[in-house]
């Protein structure tokens, strides 16, 4: 088959897909969300289930999602239409793309608010606000931010603007350099923090919390959260990875790529969690504090490290960059579709998606203070968008992707696209995609919805 190309371009270097996909995967989900979910769900048992979902569902689904993109060579919506057509199946499979574009918009809204907090912490760190403060004062600072609608909206706006700016310029500029330079720096900073944690007395308590498995602490909600988060953290189920797959060259080996991304992503989350719980236990903080956790703990570590003002500033810049390379991928499916199908200019499309997500984000920001009594299905607006996407839309998208790749697509095409040379590994993957992942997702979601 002659190689088809996406109209949005192809990654210029061999490494770029890995970098871009890792940039998408590694983000607030790893550093902010994973630790606080682990804290809320009681530690070790949640971590174990999460790791099982990553290995047994997340990584196989990632391979399936990339292959759809690479075969379709278009935005997720149009790729799915093409592939459904190729398989002589119903155009309703395009729904995977629509569901994903909508999920991306919803996630981008609250994601940008949280990324705005990270930007604000760059400022707090750089201005030396925390110097000489007690742990209590440092962790109290977060409350001041969240209760101030104006500040929340300002920093959210700034973050959304830098996201739109890059998406508007296409995938090549900005992203490639940022990911190649900033991601490795983020890993290094996390290792510095890990080194600091290892010198603290509470380090062993943190390890015990994260890795000692006590199933009596595991609720059904925790299982669904672990499943949802395994999709969230790997950027699966909404077409982000599919959109990036469309720009991937055929020479690249899919299997080793997805395993690399999965390992890197998991490593970042585990290190971030270990660091954060060391600080939690060392300072008598609450593991189940929720979304504030990272912002209340890490500045304490920096206030105790030599050169903490500089290191802390750099760290939050890198967190912002990681959030930004993830946010780009949230917008990409919708933008790519508008460019292809509506013939819209890329800049205009990026602006429209950004403005829509900005409005929803403002609602999320206000739901943390002046609109805190507005509820949707018993959640404030922020939590509603978070749970709707993480626990329902992403797993549902993943389920449909598995059904399509496992049951609808021509087997020979799937075999040809997935260049796993080893027949047994291929069979294991196909089995996971056909049976294990869809059944797993269906059982967890169904149980929870019924329960
Ligand atoms: N994976 C990113 C993180 O962990 C967030 C993200 C980017 C995402 N693109 C996505 C989540 C697509 C779900 C779907 O921060």
Q: How far apart are CA 389 and CA 394, in angstroms?
A: 6
442 domain-assigned: yes
Q: Which range of residues forms the domain containing residue 89?
A: 14-450
Q: Per-residue pLDDT for 177 more than 80?
A: no
Q: What is the CATH number of the domain that holds 171?
A: 1.20.1740
User: Do the domain assignments include residue 229?
Assistant: yes
Is the pLDDT reported for residue 1 higher than 60?
no
Q: Is residue 67 one of the residues assigned to a domain? A: yes
Mean pLDDT of 115-139: 95
Whole-number pLDDT of residue 2: 45
> Does a structural domain hold residue 1?
no
- The per-residue pLDDT for 133 is 93
pTM score, two decimals?
Answer: 0.95
Task: Give me the chain's average pLDDT, please.
Answer: 93
Asked if residue 6 is part of any domain, the answer here is no
Does ligand 1 have an atom closer than 6 angstroms to the CB of 395? no
Q: Read off φ and ψ for residue 43, nearest 5 degrees.
A: 95, -135
Position 253 scores a pLDDT of: 81
Residue 209 CA to ligand 1 center (angstroms) comes to: 26
Report whether 237 contacts 394 (CB < 8 A): yes
The closest alpha carbon to 116, from 128, 104, 124, belongs to 124
Most ligand 1 atoms within 8 A of CB, residue of 330, 386, 393, 396 to mutate:
330
Mean pLDDT of 13-28: 85
Asked, for residue 316, whether it belongs to a domain, the answer is yes
Half-sphere exposure of 376 (CA within 13 A, CB side): 13
Task: Using the mean position of ligand 1's atoms as its centre, give its distance from the Cα of residue 233 in Å.
Answer: 5
Q: What's the number of domains the chain is made of? A: 1
Does residue 8 fall inside a structural domain? no
Please indicate whether residue 108, judged by its CB atom, sits closer than 6 Å to ligand 1: no
Q: What are phi and psi for residue 423, nearest 5 degrees?
A: -60, -35
Alpha-carbon distances, residue 221 vs 35, 51, 350 (angstroms)? 16, 16, 35
Q: Is residue 9 part of a domain?
A: no
């Amino acid at each position: 088959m002659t190689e088809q190309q996406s109209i949005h371009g192809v990654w210029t270097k061999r490494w770029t897909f890995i970098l871009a996909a890792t940039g998408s995967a590694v983000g607030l989900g790893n550093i902010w969300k994973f630790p606080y979910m682990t804290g809320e769900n009681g530690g070790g048992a949640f971590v174990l289930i999460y790791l099982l979902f990553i290995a047994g569902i997340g990584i196989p689904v990632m391979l399936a999602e990339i292959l759809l993109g690479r075969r379709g060579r278009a935005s997720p919506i149009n790729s799915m239409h093409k592939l459904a057509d190729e398989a002589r199946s119903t155009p309703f499979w395009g729904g995977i793309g629509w569901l994903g574009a909508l999920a991306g918009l919803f996630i981008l809204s609250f994601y940008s608010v949280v990324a705005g907090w990270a930007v604000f912490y760059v400022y707090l760190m750089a201005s030396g606000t925390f110097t000489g403060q007690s742990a209590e004062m440092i962790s109290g600072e977060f409350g001041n931010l969240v209760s101030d609608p104006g500040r929340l909206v300002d920093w959210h706006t700034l973050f959304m603007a830098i996201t739109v700016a890059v998406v508007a310029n296409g995938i090549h500029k900005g992203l490639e350099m940022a990911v190649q330079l900033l991601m490795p720096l983020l890993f290094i900073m996390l290792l510095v923090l890990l080194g600091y944690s290892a010198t603290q007395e509470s380090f062993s308590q943190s390890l015990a919390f994260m890795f000692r498995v006590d199933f009596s602490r595991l609720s059904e909600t925790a299982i669904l959260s672990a499943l949802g988060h395994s999709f969230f953290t790997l950027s699966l189920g909404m077409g982000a990875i599919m959109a990036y797959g469309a720009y991937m060259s055929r020479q690249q080996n899919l299997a080793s790529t997805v395993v690399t991304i999965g390992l890197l992503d998991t490593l970042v989350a585990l290190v971030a969690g270990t660091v954060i719980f060391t600080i939690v236990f060392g300072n008598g903080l609450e593991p189940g504090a929720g979304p504030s956790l990272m912002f209340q703990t890490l500045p304490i570590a920096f206030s105790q490290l030599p050169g903490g003002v500089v290191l802390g500033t750099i760290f939050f810049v890198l967190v912002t960059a990681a959030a930004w390379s993830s946010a780009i991928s949230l917008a990409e499916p919708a933008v790519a579709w508008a460019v292809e199908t509506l013939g819209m200019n890329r800049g205009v499309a990026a602006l429209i998606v950004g403005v829509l997500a900005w409005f929803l984000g403002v609602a999320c920001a206000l739901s943390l203070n002046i609109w805190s009594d507005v509820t949707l299905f018993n959640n404030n607006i922020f939590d509603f968008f978070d749970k709707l996407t993480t626990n329902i839309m992403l797993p549902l998208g993943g389920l449909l992707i598995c059904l399509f790749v496992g049951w609808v697509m021509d087997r020979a095409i799937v075999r040809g696209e997935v260049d796993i040379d080893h027949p047994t590994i291929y069979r294991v993957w196909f089995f996971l995609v056909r049976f294990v992942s869809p059944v797993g997702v269906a059982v967890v979601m169904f149980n929870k919805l019924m329960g």
